Structure 1
C-alpha cells in the first residue's frame, strides 16, 4: 500500500484528486492539506511514502516544504505539482532532488503511474513540457541573500522583521532590496517579488 499526502490549496482540485486516488486499491491518502504549514506538520506526524505537493501553497510553498524535509532527512518521496512550466521552479526542484515534477493538467493515469513509479523505484518522473522548460531556463540575476530577502518580503515581513529573521541590520536589508529592484529592472519591492516569482526564482 502506498501511503500518500496531498497538499493543494484549491479545494475542488484537492477533493477531486483525493476521490480518484481513493478508488485505487494500492493507494491510501493519509492526509490532505490546504496550506504548506498544515501539510508539513501532517507529513512529519504521519510519515507518508509519497507527498504530492503543489508548488504555490499559502504559508509555506511546496519547494519550502521539500527543502525542510530534505534537510531533516525525511524518507518521503516528493512529487511537485504546478500549473505553469516555470523553469526556475523546475531548477529548484531538481537541486532538491525531488522524485517527480508534474503539471496539474496531466491525465490522471499519468499521475497514478508517476506515483507508483516514484514509490516503488525512486525513479525520477518529469513532465515532458517541464523537462523542455529546464533547457530554456533563465538564470536568476540575484544572489542567494537577495532572494532570501525577497522571499521573506513576499511572505509579508516588514524590513525590520526581515532583518531579525536573517540576522542583518535594517540598512543591509534595505540595500539588498534596492539591489534586487535594480537588477530586475523594476520600480518597487512588490514588482521585484512578482517578477522573481514569475520566473520561479522564489
Structure 2
C-alpha cells in the first residue's frame, strides 16, 4: 500500500496538507469563506468512499497532485482523518537525529509520533492510552479501507490531538516498514514509562 518517493517532494506535500488542514479547522478570517460546512461533511464520512464526495477532499487532492502526489485513496484517508484532529501535539514536526536531543525532547514535550502518543498515559500512573492488544490489532492492518475507521477511533482515544505531520506521513506510506516503525516507537515509549503505570490500560 506504500508508495515511492521518486519524483516527489515529500516535505512540500506535507506542507500543502498542513496548510489545507489549518484553513479547514481554523475560524475564517474576516471576509474569507468559512469551511465549517465542509469540515462537518468530512466528519460525517464513515468511509473513504464518502470522503470522495466532499469538495474539501478535491481541494486537497488538487494541491498535492500539483506536487507529484496523486494517490486518491491515501489523500482521501488523510483528508477524512485530519477533519477530526483539533490540535497538533508536535508543532516542530521533526525528530532530532542526535540521541541526547531526542531524550531531551521526549522529556520536555508531548510525543512527536502517533505511535509514541498511543503508548503514553493520559495521566501519570495510568497505563498506555491504547492497550497493547488494541495497538497490535491496529498495526496488523494492511488495507487502507480497513485502516481508516480504526485510525478514526484511535484519534478520538488520543483526545483528537495528535502529531499531525507524523500522521500524514504514516498514512501516506502505510506499508510493512511503517508498521514496524510504529511498533518500535510504541514499545520504546511504553517501556520508557515502565514502572510508572499499573497493569490496567485504557482503550482496550
TM-score norm. by structure 2 comes to 0.28
- Larger RCO (CA within 8 A; separation ≥ 6): 2
Structure with the higher strand share, 1 or 2 = 1
TM-score norm. by structure 1 comes to 0.28
